[in-house]
Amino acid sequence: MTTSDQQLRIGVLVGGALLIIAITYVRFCGSLALPAKPPPPAAGPTTGNARQLLSTAASSPSVYQDYLQKDAATAGVKAPSIEQMSRKLAYHVDEPREGYSLEPGKPAIEKAGLRLHLERSGDAVLLVIHNLLDSDVAYNVTTTPSLGAQLCDSARPLPFNAMVIARRGSETRTECAWRDGLAIVVNKVETVEVPPLSSFYLSETPPALVGLDERLVRGHRGASGSEPCPTMVAAAVRSGVDRGDIGWRDLVDFYARHRCQSYQFPPEYRAFKSDGERALPAGE
């Protein structure tokens, strides 16, 4: 072996030894110095979750008008202006102190623009509700079975629209299972006359959002929109309803003017008592 070969071999061995020593030192005696972590990016002006951003966008009158145009096309009706959507809606109510008793085969009653009569169909008792007015109406007919409501859920519900009745049209809802001596007591009748797009909006709105009794809306079938509406009611709204500060009329008035997919009822909102009472869309 030549002298140069020996020198190369010795150099390789020395280099390897130094590398082993360096690795051992780093592993057990020290650590590699890493560059400092860069600071997080500064928050921009659009910080916020997606829901907040959508809510902010929906509060714009131009976005609201775009919704009116798009939803009117979906409903097949003429698109209203914001001014037209801001008009007072005619409200009718009849709330007798003792209630009105209805029985199958007995005469109908006419209250708040509706004609009501009771029919028996097999083992079920049906309430037929006819709209006597010249516009679509949102309606709330509150009833109590004379023999208690415990057995009413056993009656299979007919499909119907629990929110709106078309102009001069009718809806039939299942009240209860038949029992001898059963009567249905009508405690309150409310109606709100609504224009075509409002009728569509309310048909898409879940009955829970306007506080309707679950027993009376079991068969509800409204407009089948491509976008479902949320059914959760905010705690502040629920508390207002429980205290009597927020009524069915207030809730219906709001959802007659706002698509339920994009807008939620603000706790301070109350039904319009005059045209243009507040700006639309209404927000918190």
DSSP string for residues in 191-215: EEEE-HHHHHHHHHS-GGGGT--GG
Quick: pLDDT tens for 12-22.
454 555 455 44
- Residue 42: which region, alpha, beta or left (left: phi > 0; alpha: psi -120 to 50)? beta
Please provide the distance, in angstroms rounded to a whole number, between the alpha carbons at the two ends of the chain. 93
In a domain, residue 19? The reply is: no
How would you write 39-106 as a 3-class SS string?
CCCCCCCCCCCHHHHHHHHHCCHHHHHHHHHHHHHHHCCCCCCHHHHCCCCCEEEECCCCCEEECCCC
> Can you give the pTM of this predicted structure?
0.80
In a domain, residue 7? The reply is: no
Residues forming a β-bridge with 191: 92, 139
Does the bond joining 157 to the residue before it have cis omega, within 30 degrees of 0? no
Quick: pLDDT tens for 24-63.
444 544 444 444 555 554 444 444 454 444 556 688 999 9
Q: Could you give the CA distance from residue 110 to residue 117 in angstroms, rounded to a whole number? A: 9
Q: Could you give the CA distance from residue 196 to residue 166 in angstroms, rounded to a whole number? A: 9
Quick: pLDDT tens for 99-135.
999 999 999 999 999 999 999 999 999 999 999 999 9
Percent of the chain with pLDDT over 90: 71
Pull the structure tokens for residue 178.
């038949």
In a domain, residue 209? The reply is: yes
- What's residue 56's pLDDT? 62
Q: Could you give the CA distance from residue 271 to residue 279 in angstroms, rounded to a whole number? A: 13
- Dmax over CA atoms of the chain, in Å, equals 127
Q: Could you give the CA distance from residue 139 to residue 158 in angstroms, rounded to a whole number? A: 18
In a domain, residue 76? The reply is: yes
Q: How many domains does the chain divide into?
A: 1
- What's residue 268's pLDDT? 97
The DSSP letter of residue 160 is B
Quick: pLDDT tens for 227-267.
889 889 999 999 999 999 999 999 999 999 999 999 999 99
pLDDT surpassing 90 at residue 6: no
In a domain, residue 43? The reply is: no
Q: What one-character-per-residue DSSP string does 163-197 give?
A: SEE-TT-EEEEEEEE--TT--EEEEEEEEEEE-HH
In a domain, residue 284? The reply is: no
pLDDT surpassing 70 at residue 278: yes
Residues forming a β-bridge with 200: none
- What's residue 163's pLDDT? 98
Angle between helices 248-255 and 196-204 (to 10 degrees): 110
- The domain in which residue 89 lies consists of 52-255
Q: What is the mean pLDDT of the chain?
A: 86
In a domain, residue 14? The reply is: no
In a domain, residue 13? The reply is: no
CB 247: neighbour CB atoms within 10 A? 18
Percent of the chain with pLDDT over 70: 79
- What's residue 15's pLDDT? 52
Residue 56 phi/psi, 5-degree rounding, is: -65, -45
Residue 282 parent element (H or E): none
- What's residue 227's pLDDT? 82
